[in-house]
Amino acid sequence: MCSIDVAASSVSSMYSATDVLKNRVGVYMETTKKFLGLTCQKILKVGRDDPRRAIHSVKVGLSLTLVSLLYLLEPLFNGIGQNAIWAVMTVVVVLEFTAGATLCKGLNRGLGTLLAGSLAFLFEYIARETGKVFCAIFIGALVFLIGAMSTYLRFFPTVKKNYDYGVIIFLLTFNLITISSYRVEDVLKIARERLYTMAIGSGVCIVMSLFIFPNWSGENLHNFSVSKIEGLAKSIEACVNEYFSDRETNMGKDNSMEDPIYENYKAVLDSKSTDETLALHTSWEPRHSWHCDPIPWQQYVKLGAVLRHFGYTVVALHGCLRTEIQTPKSVRLLFKDPCTRLATEVSKALMELADSIRNRRQCSPEVLSDHLHQALQDLDTALKSQPRLFLGPNGPNNTANMLALVAETTRLKPEKQLSSVKTESSALYEWKSKRVSKQLEVEGRFLRPTLSKIAITSLEFSEALPFAAFVALLVEAVAKLDLVIEEVEELGRIACFKDFDDHVIVDVDEKSKMEINLPSDPVE
């Protein structure tokens, strides 16, 4: 009987172990399917976001296949030899996402290799006429001298910006050929084969970049400027709409990284390095347009700097939405219409500028329309209609408080006096908070930390300060809009944009809904 029970228990344990194993295998298979599904989605998303990435990948693969024939085909291998591998390395290093970046690296690599090979052959010819010992000393001195001079040359700003890669290739090639010449008889063959393989690899890269689905850095810089202006237009309008919206905002919570407003203007704040890199690569590109018009990359950089200054104002405007002290909604609603109209007009002006750059035409002469000036006048009239809101009440309590503040500050010792950086209003807030705390202590109660904030926000003048800052930043955005317009007009003049056509009607609202991809090439 006991043996039967033992057998039954072993069988049941086997079945349970099998079930556990099946469950684990099922979970593993399900996890693997989810992982593969997410991976495929990410791969497809990268290609859908910018199809040029897939095209560039195919171009790199095709280029590597072509230069690999130098190794795979016997006649080509016999002509070039083991140095054919340098062509493959050249393609991997030189072929970049844009034509300008490829030309910059390719020409730098070519010039560096040519100069290093010529110089190494000249010095080898001089050292060959001397003895073996003097030749070693001469080569060592050359390696030190050329290495030190080339490295010091890289610290010059112009060389660092434009020819740093060429100097590195020059230094590498010179040392390889010069040191090899001490053990190799025919150094001219080494230099020649090195130059041939570099020329073949660079030539394949340049042909692929310029003639097979070219991706121009100038076009990326052009589109990037358009997208930045549109992002600022969307941000400033969204800021004003959210400031006067009925829904409650999360005060004191740092969620700006997830805010769509931040997503619109963050490209402007981080655009300095991207603008300079794209402009540098654009300077190496030939004129490829139908009319061979120049690409004023310097002006695009200037426009980017002005847009960043405009973006700082938008950042401050966005910060007003997250301040701890907020003006009551009843007060904000008094100025909702003029502020909203002003923001809408600024956004329309920016969208008109972006559309003019996109279509390569001069901006409309009425980009600063009468509606914008009328919105400014309406906002000014609305502010003047409520002077007590910003100046504070002139009642007896306010006068008594100010007199008491003066008497309090004159009786303080020098080490306890207010700092010179404090304003009278901030001193008044501090004095009132102290007065409230003293009254609560007399009554036997203690002031909790939140009561100080309640005491400050209960003041009418402090409630008006955040709104005053918001309006001041909005007007500042209008003032900086003039600078943006000037740079766009200068860009149109230098780039020979076509004249504005009064018969062309541009739907700004539809343009604002368009989604423009930012340059997706890797900035190095």
Interval 351-403: pLDDT, tens? 989 999 998 888 877 767 677 888 888 888 887 776 666 555 444 444 344 33
At 247 the pLDDT is 64
**What are the backbone angles phi and psi of residue 134, rounded to the nearest 5°?**
-65, -30
SS3 track for 206-251: HHHHHHCCCCCHHHHHHHHHHHHHHHHHHHHHHHHHHHCCCCCCCC
Interval 251-279: pLDDT, tens? 445 555 567 788 888 888 888 888 899 99
Residue count (the chain): 524
Q: Is 437 exposed, middle or buried (0-12, 13-18, 19+ CB in 10 A)?
A: middle
Average pLDDT, the chain: 75
Say how far apart CA 354 and CA 310 lie, in whole Å: 14
Say how far apart CA 105 and CA 102 lie, in whole Å: 5
At 167 the pLDDT is 93
At 22 the pLDDT is 72
At 414 the pLDDT is 41
At 455 the pLDDT is 35
CB contact at 8 A, 239 and 318? yes
> 3-state DSSP call for residue 326?
coil
Say how far apart CA 503 and CA 507 lie, in whole Å: 13
**What's the number of CA atoms in the CB half-sphere (13 Å) around residue 305?**
9
At 153 the pLDDT is 92
Bridge partner residues of 498 (DSSP): 361
Name the residue with higher pLDDT: 467 or 238.
238
- Cα 202 → chain centroid: 30
For the record, the structure tokens of 202 come out as: 């660079």
Side chain identity, residue 280: L
Name the residue with higher pLDDT: 379 or 294.
379
At 85 the pLDDT is 82
Highest mean pLDDT pick, 290-294, 321-325, 387-391, 513-517: 321-325
Identify the DSSP state of 368.
Answer: S
Say how far apart CA 108 and CA 119 lie, in whole Å: 16
- On the question of pLDDT at 412 being above 80, the answer is no
Helix 85-94, helix 99-128: angle, nearest 10: 140
At 97 the pLDDT is 92
Say how far apart CA 313 and CA 291 lie, in whole Å: 38
For the record, the structure tokens of 418 come out as: 């207010």
CB contact at 8 A, 59 and 91? no
At 196 the pLDDT is 83
At 144 the pLDDT is 92
- Cα 242 → chain centroid: 25
Residue found under tokens 């850095």? 217
| Cβ-based neighbours of 369, under 8 Å, separated by 6 or more | 345, 348, 349
Confidence of residue 232 (pLDDT cuts 50, 70, 90): very high
* Closest-CA residue to 239 (of 465, 461, 477, 480): 477
Interval 428-453: pLDDT, tens? 445 445 544 544 344 443 333 444 34
Interval 5-30: pLDDT, tens? 555 555 555 556 676 677 777 778 88
Say how far apart CA 357 and CA 360 lie, in whole Å: 5
Residue found under tokens 């300077």? 283
Mean pLDDT of 482-489: 90
- On the question of pLDDT at 511 being above 50, the answer is no
At 24 the pLDDT is 77
CB contact at 8 A, 307 and 235? no
Q: Considering the entire predicted model, what is its pTM?
A: 0.73
End-to-end CA distance of the chain: 80
Phi-psi region of 496 (alpha: psi -120 to 50; beta: other; left: phi over 0): left
Question: What proportion of the chain, given as a percentage, has pLDDT over 90?
Answer: 17
Mean pLDDT of 100-108: 91
Q: Give one DSSP letter per residue of 417-486, joined into a string.
A: SPPTTS-HHHHHHHHHHHHHHHHHHHTT----HHHHHHHHHTSHHHHHHHHHHHHHHHHHHHHHHHHHHH
- On the question of pLDDT at 311 being above 50, the answer is yes
Helix 187-211, helix 51-72: angle, nearest 10: 150
SS3 track for 58-83: HHHHHHHHHHHHHHHCHHHHHHHHHH
- Cα 303 → chain centroid: 15
Say how far apart CA 283 and CA 298 lie, in whole Å: 9
For the record, the structure tokens of 26 come out as: 């099922």
Name the residue with higher pLDDT: 457 or 198.
198
Bridge partner residues of 361 (DSSP): 498
